[in-house]
Amino acid sequence: MVTAWQGGRVTEPVPDQAVPGLELAGPTDPAGWLTLPDVAERLDVSISKVHQMIRDRELLAVRRDGVRRIPADLVANQTVLKHLPGVLNLLSDNGYDDEAALRWLYEQDDTLPGNTPAAALSGDQAREVKRRAQAEGF
């Protein structure tokens, strides 16, 4: 749907659709998820800025129980993990949607510290995670 907004044309986004019954990797405990207002508070930014960060692939949000949520461990110490936007852009360039990127980030990998790419992003292996995300396209 296209509507006029402030003199220009804006395409309204289609809401994310979670596939019922599909078991997805990632934080499953509700304490492991943040709602968008929680993220805005943690980062000390407006909710509009959080939406912009999601559109710009600086953050990853998926629908759970009808609410867009962000894995809590991707927002640490009042900042987004430094290498997360680069990894999200690499995965997007390789055709990954948000659900697929979430599964990739939380896929068990014993060769990485923390056993997942998401956990390794906060440590010394962030460049290795980016290299692997880039290799997904080949």
Whole domain around residue 114: which residue ranges? 33-136
Q: Phi first, then psi: give them for residue 13, nearest 5 degrees.
A: -70, 150
Tokens standing for 80?
């987004």
pLDDT value of position 52 = 96
Q: Is residue 78 part of a domain?
A: yes
Q: Domain count for the chain, please give it.
A: 1
Low-confidence residues in the chain, pLDDT < 50: 2-23, 25, 28-30
Q: Is residue 24 part of a domain?
A: no
Q: Is residue 28 part of a domain?
A: no
CA-CA distance, 43 to 61, in Å (whole number)? 15
pLDDT in tens, 32-64: 899 999 999 999 999 999 999 999 999 999 998
Q: Is residue 115 part of a domain?
A: yes
pLDDT value of position 27 = 56
Q: How would you label 87-118 residue by residue, b for 16+ Cβ within 10 Å and e otherwise?
A: bbebbeebebebbebbebbbeebeebeeebbb
pLDDT value of position 104 = 92
pLDDT value of position 109 = 86
